[in-house]
């Protein structure tokens, strides 16, 4: 097995990378991130959702052999699974890795598949966060589709971010708006997720995703009826982004204690 190269302090590298590529376009940030020694070993994590095709197309143009991690929660829409196969084949992505929770973990924590009905945070942790963390253990950085316009928890997203003491996140689309996404997809004639035309501008697991009405926030259909806004796979300062009002209240109490 090849020995991994020891890299400088991650905060130092992130600061340098943001300064180095501050004024670069999204696809240039992607290209540089895949080649810059300061990023180390990089993977693209993709949900193959409504907007995922943009980053998938970019990486296919630059380095189609880049590892692409796709989390199959076993609760995804059939349309998402079909779209994943279609896009991977059309773009010539040669290293798509399907990530799932261990059978033993599912049997222990969600044997009847109903965990999402009474504890969505626990379900996301079981089916998304833990499997992804295991899959990312061999990488120094991962590319995400996070963008500033997507909400308060993402309003200060930069191209490069410290995630943990040993890993960073790369967000090439950080400064893009919805119009930029739509323009890129149209100009490059990219295949759209079939559920978008049915009123799903943001697509997650089938039990926790509903259509969005005209005028609603695009993410209003995710965990509808709750205050949950994130699945928990993203970390800030080494801690997972809180996904519900209850979790946020717990964090506030911890700070006071």
The catalytic residue positions are 231
Note whether 206 and 221 are within 8 A (CB).
Answer: no
DSSP string over 146-177: --GGG-GGGTT--SEEE-SSS-EEE-TTTT--
Q: For the CA atoms of the chain, what is the radius of gyration?
A: 18
What letter would DSSP give residue 74? Answer: S
Give me the count of residues in the chain: 257
Angle at 147 between CA 51 and CA 53, to 5 degrees: 20
Contact 223, 229 (CB under 8 A): yes
Q: Residues with Cβ < 8 Å from 215, sequence gap 6 or more?
A: none
Cβ neighbour number for residue 125 with a 10 Å cutoff: 21
Question: β-strands 160-162, 168-170: how paired?
Answer: antiparallel
């Amino acid at each position: 097995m090849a020995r991994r190269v020891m890299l400088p302090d991650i905060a130092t590298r992130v600061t340098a990378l943001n300064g180095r590529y501050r004024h670069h376009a999204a696809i240039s940030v992607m290209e540089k991130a895949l080649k810059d020694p300061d990023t180390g070993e990089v993977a693209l994590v993709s949900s193959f959702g409504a907007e995922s095709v943009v980053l998938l197309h970019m990486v296919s143009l630059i380095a189609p052999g880049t590892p692409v991690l796709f989390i199959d929660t076993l609760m995804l829409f059939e349309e998402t699974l079909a779209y994943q196969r279609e896009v991977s084949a059309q773009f010539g992505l040669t290293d798509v890795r399907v990530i799932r929770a261990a059978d033993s973990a599912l049997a222990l924590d969600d044997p009847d598949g109903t965990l999402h009905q009474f504890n969505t945070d626990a379900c996301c942790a079981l089916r998304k966060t833990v499997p992804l963390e295991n899959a990312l253990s061999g990488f120094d950085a991962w590319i995400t589709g996070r963008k500033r316009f997507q909400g308060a928890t993402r309003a200060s997203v930069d191209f490069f971010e410290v995630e943990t003491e040993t890993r960073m996140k790369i967000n090439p689309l950080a400064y893009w708006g919805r119009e930029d996404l739509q323009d890129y997809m149209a100009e490059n004639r990219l295949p759209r997720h079939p559920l978008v035309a049915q009123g799903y501008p943001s697509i997650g697991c089938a039990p926790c995703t509903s259509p969005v009405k005209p005028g609603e926030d695009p993410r209003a259909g995710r965990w509808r009826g709750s205050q949950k806004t994130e699945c928990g796979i993203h970390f800030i300062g080494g801690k997972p982004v809180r996904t519900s009002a209850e979790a946020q209240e717990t964090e506030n109490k911890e700070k006071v204690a």
